[in-house]
Amino acid sequence: MKSSAPFFMVFARLLFALLFQGLLALVFFLRGDPNPIQTAAPWWTVYGSLVDFACLLTIDIFLRPEGLRLSDLFDFSRALLWKDLRFASLLLILFLVLGFGGGMVAGMLIYGGPPPAPMGGLPLWGALFSLLVFPILWGVTEQLTYQGYALPRLQALTGKTWLAVLIVAFGWALQHTALPFLPDWQFVLYRFISTLPFAVVIPIYLKTKRLTPFMLAHWGVDMLSVALTSFV
């Protein structure tokens, strides 16, 4: 394992998100759009799948020197399915509280009221893609990147669990400043603060060492978020 690999993956999703939003913004710019970055922003739940594929490919490349494959990071077990589902339902409640609660608190701190929504405003096909494809792919890849791949390797490299948790929590929250990226310091700060509370799930994972329930809960909260912002 290259010592830089897990550190890179902590920030890889941020970099890939900026890259693919930038490429889409370039397309809008070439078509004469006066505000290409803002126009590209609502599409993050669509081009986000490219972020996921880029992360999965990168992790797979990093795993090869360890003699591992991407599939080795998954811990799905039929024998533990019902137990995982019960735990995932509890995590889903926690994720909803952290997500909506963190957003409300951050909105009050930064905007003094409701924050701008980073989702919605897409045509029907984009909204359906965001509802049916984005949540499961995003939930699996995000959990795999931060908790399945980066966290245990940072523990091994630093020799300190608290430091590994801190690094992952910072990178995880920082990623959301590009989901989507807007050239507005208030929005960037809002996205960072609103997702910091999710750091509490990392010690829970370290206690359980079961990644599947976190993937299922992540899928659920993302699907609900898309449904509320795009269809309600």
pLDDT at 189: 96
| Domain coverage including residue 160 | 4-230
Select the more confidently predicted residue: 232 or 136: 136
| Stretch 123-139: mean pLDDT | 95
Least confident of 144-158, 199-213, 218-232: 218-232
pLDDT at 74: 95
Q: Please say if the pLDDT value at position 118 is more than 80.
A: no
pLDDT at 229: 84
Tens-digit pLDDT profile for residues 137-196: 999 999 999 999 999 999 999 999 999 999 999 999 999 999 999 999 999 999 999 999
Least confident of 30-34, 115-119, 128-132: 115-119
pTM of the model: 0.93
Query: At 1, is the pLDDT very low, low, confident or very high (cuts 50, 70, 90)?
Result: low
pLDDT at 232: 64
Domain count, the chain: 1
**DSSP characters over the chain:** --THHHHHHHHHHHHHHHHHHHHHHHHHHHTT-S-HHHHHGGGHHHHHHHHHHHHHHHHHHHHGGGT--GGGG----GGGHHHHHHHHHHHHHHHHHHHHHHHHHHHHHHTSSPPPPSS----HHHHHHHHHTHHHHHHHHHHIIIIIIIHHHHHHHHS-HHHHHHHHHHHHHHHGGGTT--S-HHHHHHHHHHHGGGGGHHHHHHHH---HHHHHHHHHHHHHHHHHHHT-
pLDDT at 86: 97
